[in-house]
């Protein structure tokens, strides 16, 4: 395996990302943005966002801002249900400007599920 020098990964190509572990059932109804991430990018957050799974399936979810915090709320429960998000899953959010987030979901075993890769399970 060949590795690239560190300068082959320019910081300008990195997108502001964060991850959340679904720890309890409240995570099915709303999900709080990490405070440091929200403090840096709050101005870029619209009231609706598009969450795109690695298989290309996109869902629209509402963002609620309350004082110095923000949550994914409206339709978040539907997103969790549709994509079979479970307690213990780690969700990685990669912000691609404006309302768009690319999503990676890892199961408790550390791997992506087949449905996230191909869209359906045979």
pLDDT per residue as tens digits for the range 33-52: 999 988 888 877 889 999 99
Asked if pLDDT for residue 29 goes beyond 90, the answer is no
Report the domain count for the chain: 1
Is there a domain that residue 81 lies in? yes
Is there a domain that residue 66 lies in? yes
pTM above 0.95, yes or no: no
Range of the domain at 75: 26-107
Is there a domain that residue 16 lies in? no
Is there a domain that residue 42 lies in? yes
Asked if pLDDT for residue 3 goes beyond 60, the answer is no
pLDDT, averaged across the chain: 82
Is there a domain that residue 18 lies in? no
Is there a domain that residue 17 lies in? no
Domain of 38: which CATH number? 2.40.330.10
List residues bridging with 103 in a β-sheet: 53, 93
């Amino acid at each position: 395996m060949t590795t690239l020098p560190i300068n082959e990964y320019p910081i300008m190509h990195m997108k502001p990302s964060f991850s959340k572990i679904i720890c309890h059932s409240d995570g099915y109804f709303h999900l709080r943005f990490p405070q440091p991430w929200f403090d840096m990018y709050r101005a870029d957050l619209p009231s609706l966002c598009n969450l795109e799974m690695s298989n290309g399936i996109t869902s629209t979810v509402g963002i609620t801002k309350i004082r110095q915090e923000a949550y994914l709320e409206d339709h978040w429960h539907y997103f969790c249900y549709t994509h079979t998000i479970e307690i213990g899953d780690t969700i990685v959010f990669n912000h691609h400007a404006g309302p768009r987030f690319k999503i990676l979901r890892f199961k408790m075993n550390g791997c992506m599920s087949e449905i996230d890769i191909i869209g359906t399970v045979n």
